Structure 1
């Protein structure tokens, strides 16, 4: 059974932050979050808590410490819980170090909240046969 993952990049403002982190890597550095107030604004708007509030939130006794895992392990853990936190090339998002803790707290119901908007998966990609004609033409060419 396959299920559609909810994409972190689809949440409001996250794709913009990811693009900014590509151009200016400091956006993705949790130790520099004071330099980029728009990160706190997006976190507050999307999850209802900032990175600072997420750090200070009380953890349940069975908390797994996802925020201390490597980005690849974080991505695998989130995927197991129904979230895609990777980019188009299947690499963990640059902003994952900043977004990880608020997302984990919100999705597990410990602190903050998830966006109210219902999740609508992307439509399945339609398969096109535009290359079929080219393949047939190439086969005819090789026979000549």
Structure 2
């Protein structure tokens, strides 16, 4: 049975660009970076309908398991179980993971915010990898 395709957070509008900026400026991944980089809140509001601060303040339902505070490895596995990939193209956790994880958990569980409109998301990673493999195959056969 084929593994279901995961929705990649990095492919949502604006996330890949922010990840690239965070690569050049590691300060962007800091917990207090939102006050210095307003684009983090802009992308969060556009995708989930709320900012990270609003997500932190959102009331949790009774029995909430505090998944957003679990270790990174556990959250990545839990996101995969929910159909989401929160890693980069090299399967490392996103640098900006902690700026989006709470909003995504709240939206997935229907507590606050909203899930992004998935039809707009393009999964170019798989297509790019296939194209690269095909080009390598053609080149090596000559």
Q: Structures share a fold, TM > 0.5?
A: yes
Count of aligned pairs between the two proteins: 134
Aligned-residue offset at 1:130: 2.7
Q: For residues 24 and 48 of structure 1, do their structure 2 counterparts lie closer, same or farther at Cα, with a shift above 3 Å needed?
A: same
Identify which of structures 1 and 2 has the higher relative contact order when contacts are C-alpha pairs closer than 8 Å and 6+ apart. Answer: 2
Which residue pairs with 2:14 in the alignment? 13
Partner residue in 2 for 1:22? 23
Q: Which of 126, 130, 139 lines up with 2:138 in the alignment?
A: 130
Deviation at 1:62? 2.7
> Is 1:103 the equivalent of 2:104?
yes
Q: CA deviation at 1:75?
A: 1.2
Q: Is the 8 A contact 1:4 1:121 kept in 2?
A: no
Moved over 6 A (4+): none
What is the TM-score when the length of structure 1 is the normalising length? 0.82
CA contact (8 A) 2:14 2:43 kept: yes
- Compute the TM-score of the two structures, normalised by the length of structure 2: 0.84
* CA contact 1:30–1:97 (8 Å) conserved in 2: yes
User: Which runs of no fewer than 5 residues in structure 2 stay unpaired?
Assistant: none
**Cα drift, residue 71 of structure 1:** 2.0
Deviations 1:109-129 (A, max 9, x none): 110011224256556526533
Match of 2:32, SS? helix
Q: Which runs of 5+ in 1 are unaligned?
A: 135-144
**Which structure: larger Rg?**
1
Find the aligned partners of 1:6 and 1:19 in 2 and give their Cα distance: 19
C-alpha distance in 2 between matches for 1:9 and 1:116: 14
Whole-angstrom CA distance in 2 between matches of 1:131 and 1:55: 52
